[in-house]
Structure 1
């Protein structure tokens, strides 16, 4: 599979699914046995689990993702992104804060059979928790 096709799948995930709120696109771009290596609390497995994850993120955090870098090689696609949103509903056991956040993260996807097959990520959760008011920022730290 070409890296262009792999990049296109990932682009559709961010533009159509996460930012466009079109959950039905997940059925077109993710494998039935999709493997999430860093699941959210309460997230199911497979493609349905990815739908759970996106539904939770959209409902609770009203996110807007900006893709800053995409690197594709072989069956892997790495994405460096920025996520700006507001926590409007409870999320991962935390009550709704009503506060905005602006965080960075990196996702890595494995593509197989023309679909997203696996996902790993690193997210700046500490900054998010500080911005939402759940963890105090150290003195002099930028928020």
Structure 2
């Protein structure tokens, strides 16, 4: 019985010693295999989605590919065209000339890319119906993009509009609220 235990311990020790070597061989073989095409596509789609925020909104360079039949979805049942979306993006750049939008989280699955973003800027201009207040703001939101052949075909977007208006001092007090508080 003691001999069997000793042989089992030796075998277990040998297995533990060989495991890193086997893992390294497996990892080397896996890294030499071509990446699956859907992973390549998801990676490319993530780069384009990131461009929307880091180049378009942050730098005013709107060179992101969109399909001809693009449809955007805002809050509620509001939909918008590519031209309307670009006009709104340019309006944000006018209202916040120093606008910087960072990508906090980006996740891709098949033809969809989800982005959690944070925007910071000073409201020193007029745009999208917002008067210049001189106030610095920070707001965040989420966008989901659907891609077709590397171009954005559909977008669902939501941002904290109420929080933005409050920071700018443009949110009217609730009806019936006392003005003397």
**Does the TM-score normalized on the shorter chain lie above 0.5?**
yes
Counterpart check, 1:121 vs 2:160? no
How far apart in 1 are the matches of 2:54 and 2:86? 15
The 10-residue stretch of structure 1 (68-77 or 51-60) with the greater mean CA deviation from structure 2: 51-60
Q: What TM-score results when the alignment is normalised by the length of structure 2?
A: 0.64
Q: Could you tell me which residue of structure 2 aligns to residue 80 of structure 1?
A: 116
CA RMSD of aligned residues (A): 2.4
Per-residue CA deviations over 1:61-106 (Å, capped at 9, x if unaligned) read 2321011100111211110111001222334433221211101111
Which runs of 5 or more residues in structure 1 are unaligned? Answer: 138-143
Q: What TM-score results when the alignment is normalised by the length of structure 1?
A: 0.79
Partner SS, residue 157 of structure 2: strand
The 10-residue stretch of structure 1 (116-125 or 64-73) with the greater mean CA deviation from structure 2: 116-125
Q: Could you tell me which residue of structure 2 aligns to residue 12 of structure 1?
A: 51
- Higher relative CO (Cα under 8 Å, sequence separation at least 6) belongs to 1
Alignment length (residue pairs): 131
Q: Could you tell me which residue of structure 2 aligns to residue 61 of structure 1?
A: 96
Q: Could you tell me which residue of structure 1 aligns to residue 132 of structure 2?
A: 96
**Higher share in strand:** 1
Per-residue CA deviations over 1:2-48 (Å, capped at 9, x if unaligned) read 2111101112222221222212x13xx22222211128xxx9723x3
1:54 Cα deviation (Å)? 1.8
Q: Could you tell me which residue of structure 2 aligns to residue 33 of structure 1?
A: 69
How far apart in 2 are the matches of 1:36 and 1:96? 27
